[in-house]
């Protein structure tokens, strides 16, 4: 029987609760897992003085596989986001965010089956920023003003948008490989190349080149604002959407909203040799420690991990168990109930038990 070594990062807030539920459900598939528990987030800060200790990164690098709960980004300067830090340290360039309707989850939309592939490392998220009025900003602005016809105001704050040919190629190639592996028919590149002719223009040009190399899969492109409108009007016309970082952040939350919100939205961060799967939602501090959090997004992230490992049948059993329990609507957490009545809702663990029984 297959056995997998997985770095498990329970995170903080509701993270440990949804992680424990997920661990139990994944073990109920019959596959073997050696879980390497790793600290990250607030607990790690107290224990090791670092929200993302090197030992955690080493474990994920060694195993090539991580399953991660949400992690709070402490408010205040000096703290790096563990989530962004992890993606950058491990070069997890692709953020995979599927959005599929689950029967029984309340939503304005039905029959949604979309996958957002978001570039994870470049764009305005690379972290090259200069604050208003600083000597660095002044120097950058004066260099720009020497080189450009268009002048930047002296007191501007600056965030650099970086798009490289290599970064664009690898994310679009990833989208095509994912589409082929998952029997998907269409890849849509999302951009704003009509306005940002060089950065988004480069992304679009590379996307068109990669599309020409993959003629078995249909390709088109949409300007991001039009894409948002079309997702509201005719989402069934779309399939796999690939886009730079910032648009991906926004459009994937839009898609999460179309299938019922953060509680049911899974995600994966994929690099060349390492992949880390995590729910899209945050640490929901107000619910922490109460056993009421919805484990679905984390469970479906676990199922994505199984698919990544080629364990399709096990993934389908998890997804099927989740769909059955949500469809029945009795053993579900409060957020999945129409009345949101906590006193009638299942706890995180009770919902996980029902899913295990349904599998």
Provide the token pair at 95: 């953020």
Side by side, the strands of the sheet bearing 113-119 are 32-37, 3-9, 65-68, 275-279, 266-270, 94-100, 113-119, 240-243, 186-191, 218-223
183: exposed, middle or buried (Cβ count in 10 Å: 0-12, 13-18, 19+): exposed
Angle between helices 312-328 and 348-358 (to 10 degrees): 120
CB of 309 to ligand NAD, least distance (A): 21
Q: Return phi, psi of residue 347, to 5°.
A: -80, 170
Helix or strand (DSSP H, E) at 84 = helix 82-89
Does 72 sit near ligand NAD (CB under 6 A)?
A: yes
Binding mask 237-276 for ligand NAD (x = CB under 6 A): -------------------------xx-------------
Give the nearer residue to ligand NAD in terms of CB position, either 57 or 137: 57
Does 172 sit near ligand NAD (CB under 6 A)?
A: no
Residues in the chain: 359
Measured distance CA(274)–CA(92) in Å, rounded: 7
CB of 132 to ligand NAD, least distance (A): 24
Give the nearer residue to ligand NAD in terms of CB position, either 219 or 334: 334
| Identified catalytic residue from 34, 58, 155, 225 | 225
Does 87 sit near ligand NAD (CB under 6 A)?
A: no
Does 294 sit near ligand NAD (CB under 6 A)?
A: yes
Whether 192 sits among the annotated catalytic residues: the reply is yes
Q: How many CB atoms lie within 10 A of CB 80?
A: 15
Binding mask 271-290 for ligand NAD (x = CB under 6 A): -------x--xxxx-xx---
Whether 225 sits among the annotated catalytic residues: the reply is yes
Which positions lie near ligand NAD, rule CB under 6 A? 14, 18, 70-73, 83, 262-263, 278, 281-284, 286-287, 293-294, 297, 335
């Amino acid at each position: 029987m297959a056995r997998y070594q997985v770095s498990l990062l329970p995170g903080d807030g509701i993270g440990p609760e949804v992680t424990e539920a997920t661990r139990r459900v994944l073990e109920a598939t019959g596959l073997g897992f050696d879980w390497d528990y790793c600290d990250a987030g607030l607990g790690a800060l107290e224990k090791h003085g670092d929200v993302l200790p090197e030992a955690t990164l080493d474990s994920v690098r060694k195993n090539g596989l991580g399953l991660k709960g949400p992690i709070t980004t402490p408010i205040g300067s000096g703290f790096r986001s563990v989530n962004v830090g992890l993606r950058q340290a491990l070069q997890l360039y692709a953020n995979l965010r599927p959005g599929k309707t689950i029967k029984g989850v309340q939503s304005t939309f039905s029959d949604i089956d979309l996958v957002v592939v978001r570039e994870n490392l470049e764009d305005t998220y690379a972290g090259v920023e200069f604050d208003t009025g600083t000597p660095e900003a002044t120097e950058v602005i004066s260099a720009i003003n020497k080189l450009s016809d268009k002048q930047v105001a002296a007191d501007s704050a600056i965030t650099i948008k970086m798009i490289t040919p290599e970064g664009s190629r690898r994310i679009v190639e990833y989208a095509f490989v994912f589409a082929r592996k998952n029997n998907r028919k269409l890849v849509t590149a999302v951009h704003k190349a009509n306005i940002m002719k060089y950065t988004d223009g480069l992304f679009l040009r590379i996307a068109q080149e990669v599309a020409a190399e993959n003629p078995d899969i249909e390709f088109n492109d949409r300007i991001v604002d039009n894409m948002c409108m079309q997702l509201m009007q005719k989402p069934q016309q779309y399939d796999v959407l690939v886009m730079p970082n910032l648009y991906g952040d926004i459009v994937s939350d839009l898609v999460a909203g179309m299938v019922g919100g953060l509680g049911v939205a899974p995600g994966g961060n994929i690099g060349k040799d390492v992949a880390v799967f995590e729910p899209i939602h945050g640490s929901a501090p107000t619910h922490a420690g109460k056993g009421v959090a919805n484990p679905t997004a984390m469970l479906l992230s676990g199922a994505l991990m199984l698919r990544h490992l080629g364990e399709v049948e096990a993934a389908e059993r998890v997804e099927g168990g989740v769909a059955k329990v949500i469809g029945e609507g009795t053993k579900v957490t409060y957020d999945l109930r129409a009345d949101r009545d906590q006193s009638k809702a299942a706890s995180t663990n009770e919902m996980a038990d029902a899913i295990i029984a349904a599998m």
